[in-house]
Amino acid sequence: GSEAHLATMLESKAEALMAGADPGEVVELRDPTTLTYRATIGSMSQDPADPAVEDPSYGGLASAHALARLFAALVGEVDGIRLIGQGLTAELARPHSSGTCEVMLTPLTWGLGVQLADSAVFPADAGLKNSFGLSGANGVFTFSDPDRELAFGYVPNMGSAVMGSMDGRVRRLVEAVFRSVDRIL
């Protein structure tokens, strides 16, 4: 079965919070009536380690390779397939909303279902200024850079220890990717 391809996950802040750990300064994670709680901890009532349980907030299953291929197909052809045309890619990457995210309580700018570079979780200064993608609370990070025809996917086996900012592991990888690509270009 597919279980043979799943990494062993190590407990992160998200799993500790689901188990009742103190959320620290994010008081909204203590209050079941808040949108932050309901969209995160409240939606994770199933076992996050069980691949048979669908959990749209936290339990998506994908490899870094698969995420990178998906985001590559948004900006160019992958094995002869481009998911959307250049016009729709430009529209997807155009700001459609900006302000404080009502779930994560951090400033974010969104395109069409993707984060745009200008926030602590998807920062332009990491090299992402022309990119769009997603920074997941569990440490997953994926993006496309249409100008460079570049796509990236990162899936850790332990979620992020930080909330509201870019995980240091991801930042170092993203910065290294852009340094490498910019040397070639």
Contact 134, 114 (CB under 8 A): yes
Q: What is the mean pLDDT of residues 93-98?
A: 96
What pTM, to 2 d.p., does this model score?
Answer: 0.75
Q: Which long-range contacts (CB under 8 A, 24 or more apart) does 116-121 make?
A: 120/164, 120/165, 120/166, 121/164, 121/165, 121/166
**Tokens in use for 10?**
């190590």
Residue 118: partners with Cβ closer than 8 Å, 6 or more residues away = 98, 107, 109, 124
- For 161, which DSSP code? S
Strand segments, DSSP code E, in 9-147 are 97-100, 107-110, 115-116, 132-135, 141-145
| pLDDT tens digits, 105-138 | 788 999 999 999 988 889 999 999 999 999 876 7
| pLDDT tens digits, 27-54 | 666 677 887 777 766 665 555 555 565 5
Q: Find the distance separating the first CA and the last CA of the chain, reported in whole Å.
A: 42
The ranges assigned to domains in the chain are 10-61, 62-185
DSSP helix/strand/coil, 127: coil
Looking at this protein, which amino acid is placed at residue 147? Answer: D
**Tokens in use for 149?**
């025809």
Q: Which long-range contacts (CB under 8 A, 24 or more apart) does 130-134 make?
A: 132/92, 132/93, 133/71
Q: What is the mean pLDDT of residues 157-170?
A: 70
**Tokens in use for 174?**
């993203």
Of the two residues 121 and 6, the one the predictor is more confident about is 121
